[in-house]
Amino acid sequence: MSPASWSLIAFLVAVALSCTSRINVGLIALALSWALGSWVAGLKPEAVAAGFPAMLFVTLVGVTLLFALAEQNGTLEAVARRFLGALRDPRFVPPLIFVLGAVLSGIGPGAVAATALMAPLAMVIGLRAGAPAFLVALMIANGANAGNLSSLSAVGIIARDGMAKAGLLHHEGKVFFANFAAHVIVGGAAWLWLRRRHGPSALEGPEGAIEKLKPSQVLTLLVLGLWILGTLVLSLPVGFAAFVAASVLILGGAAEERKALKSLPWAVIVMVTGMTTLVAVLEKTGGMALVTALLAALATPATVNGMVAFVTGVISTWSSTSGVVMPAFLPTSTALATQVGGGDPFAIALSINVGSSLVDVSPLSTIGALCVAAVTDPEAARGLFTRMMIWGLSMTVVGALLCQLAAGPLARL
């Protein structure tokens, strides 16, 4: 077989492992990258290592470290409590949870970190407000995913880099809007369908109590604000600027770096960078061309947006959106449009982003699992698992329909 065929087989093995096992596929991907590059394609180790996304690694570590420090000293929890305690009408608690999840996810840590931070507290407050656990879970997951592709979010950076490999540059605003709008649509539909008007009329008691911010938390909020302004106004590199901000907090005694370093999502970082390296080898050996040809055989120019949203959605239901789907499929957007014989590469990229993100409420994903874990009653948790699974699978079809109808017109705006 040709190097392209071997690399495609290796890629499919990595994707299959990510779907069917608890093994960190990034580790396997790095091993396969060297084996394929050196033994099959005749590449030197340096050439294989050149595919490792060094800048992405810096960005992911810097951003997650900064927010790990903010979480470790209680700043993010204090912010969450203020948002959740700001609205006294219980009917509007679910939308507030959605908004909070979008804000926390969008300003840097991403959907997984935002969900991990707010799920236990939001579930308690939502249930006290009379909302069913299923609705609260959908608001947490969809809200966090709604902000997940901002230009400050680690996952937004992954999407941006993947699209850049396909020659699609400077589309961060539309990417964020498309993903945000899709989650607002499905989240709003869930709220209208599932909302309950019973329960207490106000959120009182210890869960709603607001404590005064500590000096370390005030400093953290100030540093985070300056970091956000620096990246938005001065166009500072997000990752390196995050390291500067984190250094200020550490030197200022606002948080303990050892605890923060231990809490970093190293498994996710290895998964993302490992898969990105394997995709780089796939490109060098011609395996990516085989991937695009396979996808092209399943679509026409008229159906490519819906088809690619459905395919990536199905894979993302079982696999990692940011670690597997985005790094693997976004770089193929332009080539796929050519293979199909038409279509807008940017619309295809939007479909990949939206289609793979909408299904992340599945309890097989980290976000969905965190929501289920926030329910303390075992029987209620089992029921929530089933409902979240059905909802997540249905989003493969919903995402395909939304992208088929809207991705093209949005890309042309």
* Predicted local distance difference test score (pLDDT) of residue 319: 66
Burial class (CB in 10 A: 0-12, 13-18, 19+), 110: buried
Residue 279 has pLDDT above 90, yes or no: no
CB-CB contact of 367 with 145 (8 Å): yes
Closest C-alpha to 139, from 173, 94, 182, 174: 94
Backbone angles phi, psi at 199, to 5 degrees: 105, 180
Tens of pLDDT, residue by residue over 212-264, are: 888 999 999 999 889 888 876 787 887 899 899 999 999 999 988 888 888 78
Provide the pLDDT confidence category of residue 332 given band limits of 50, 70 and 90.
Answer: confident
Q: How far is CA 179 from the centre of its chain?
A: 11
Q: How far is CA 145 from the centre of its chain?
A: 6
* Predicted local distance difference test score (pLDDT) of residue 205: 43
DSSP state of 252: T
CB-CB contact of 225 with 49 (8 Å): no
Q: How many CB atoms lie within 10 A of CB 142?
A: 31
Residue 376 has pLDDT above 90, yes or no: no
Residue 184 has pLDDT above 80, yes or no: yes
Residue 160 has pLDDT above 80, yes or no: yes
Residue 124 has pLDDT above 90, yes or no: no
CB-CB contact of 33 with 277 (8 Å): yes
Provide the pLDDT confidence category of residue 200 given band limits of 50, 70 and 90.
Answer: very low
Residue 360's H or E segment, with its range, is: none
* Predicted local distance difference test score (pLDDT) of residue 199: 46
Question: In whole angstroms, what is the distance from residue 349 CA to residue 369 CA?
Answer: 27
- Ranking 19-23, 61-65, 134-138, 322-326 by mean pLDDT, the lowest is 19-23
Torsion of CA 250, 110, 315, 183, to 10 degrees: 170
Give CA separation, 45 vs 32, 34, 348, in Å: 12, 7, 33
Domain boundary assignment for the chain:
3-50+74-213+265-412
Burial class (CB in 10 A: 0-12, 13-18, 19+), 385: buried
Residue position matching structure tokens 């997540």: 392
Closest C-alpha to 17, from 27, 8, 3: 27
Dihedral sign (CA 283, 285, 289, 294): negative
Residue 83 has pLDDT above 70, yes or no: no
Residue 287 has pLDDT above 80, yes or no: no
Residue 300 has pLDDT above 70, yes or no: yes
Angle, helices 110-128 vs 93-106, to 10°: value is 160
- Looking at per-residue pLDDT, the higher value among 177 and 76 belongs to 177
Dihedral sign (CA 400, 165, 149, 170): negative
Residue 337 has pLDDT above 90, yes or no: no
Residue position matching structure tokens 């109590």: 209
Residue 181's H or E segment, with its range, is: helix 172-194
pLDDT, mean of residues 272-298: 77
